[in-house]
Amino acid sequence: MHGFVNPPVVHASTVLFESTEAMKKRQSLPYTYGLRGTPTTKALEEALSELEGAHDTILVPSGLAAITIPLLAFLGAGDHLLVVDSVYTPTRTFCNGTLKRMGVEIEYFDPHVGAGIAELMKPNTKVVFLEAPGSNTFEVMDVRAVCDAAHAGGAVTMLDNTWATPLYFRPLEHGVDLSIHALTKYPGGHSDVMMGSVSANEATIKRLRDTQMQIGVNAAPDDVYLVLRGLKTMGVRLERHQASALELAGWLESRDDVAEVRHPALFSFFDHELYDRQFSGSSGLFSFLLPGGFDQAAAFLDALRLIGLGYSWGGHESLAVAVDLSDRTICKGPGNGTFIRLQVGLEDVPDLKADLEGGFAAASAARG
């Protein structure tokens, strides 16, 4: 705009109209009130829509809001919702809490169900919610097979695409109606902003946008600027996240004190074929199974010095957390240890290995 490299940050609530006639015809105008968008939010919406191959995109204040708003848009009392069991825990909490109180019937399904999801569809199934790979345990589903069966039954499909980003997976090309993204993660990239997006096809965008405006949420201009800035380097950062995570995953897989490594891009991973067929790359998040009880896992984590303990991911810093699968009904894991989820940041891999070595030594000492 006006020759500047970056779009301006527009702080606005009120928009002035030239006349009462213009006010009457405001639906045809690009900007009418700050909540409905500004040139700043429009710039990010358009960038994300292009990356996702979507008709349009909405912005919301957090990744969780990017999950809850489309669910609220397409579900009501008496409807049936199918959710993959390996879903992000706050998604399950919202489904089992708010949606159940609204009178929505919730049912969880195995991520490997494929076209067999047709057998779970009911006349009142309105939404099928997917996440690929699965949260923490990283199961990979056949997205096209699930979506085709869901559409045949009259349901809308949604997928949380935060792990791969649209650089490595474009859900709408696999039959998904709405692609959900926690922009807090890789697009922001610096652990200093919270935001979410939902990129929709033409058939679903109006209802999605109407619900967003009826609830009354959008993204703040300064936050949008930070995500726009992060988006410009996301591809370069993801290449580093991917390479470092794969090197660490291979190293962990070679260790006797690691029972299992769950990284979809590893050839040894049980769903690697599904990953390879659908994804063009991987990110910096994966998990490994540490043998023993939680005391050993706690000793491992508490011994880390470079790698922080924290629940987010996608930033420049490496993080680790013990995975809690107690809410799962199907994807419970092997049960002979504790999964440790690693977010591999931009640090040098030898430094990360050295830090993890300290964790393994502490876990071994805790076993006695």
pLDDT digits (tens, 9 = 90+) for 112-163: 999 999 999 999 999 999 999 999 999 999 999 999 999 999 999 999 999 9
CA distances from 281 to 144, 169, 262, 266 (A): 18, 8, 15, 11
20-229 folds as Aspartate Aminotransferase; domain 2 (3.40.640)
Which residues is 199 bridged to in the sheet? Answer: 57, 179
The full set of domain ranges for the chain reads: 20-229, 234-367
Q: Alpha helices of the chain — where are they, by DSSP H?
A: 20-24, 39-52, 63-74, 89-94, 100-101, 143-152, 165-168, 205-215, 221-253, 272-278, 294-302, 349-367
pLDDT at 127: 98
pTM: 0.95
pLDDT at 335: 80
- Do 95 and 106 touch, CB atoms closer than 8 A? yes
3-state secondary structure of 82: strand
- 162-217: per-residue pLDDT in tens? 999 999 999 999 999 999 999 999 999 999 999 999 999 999 999 999 999 999 99
Token pair for 185: 């993660």
Cα 141 to Cα 216: distance, rounded to the nearest angstrom? 34
Do domains 20-229 and 234-367 share one topology? The answer is no
Domain 234-367 has CATH 3.90.1150.10: yes
332, pLDDT greater than 90: no
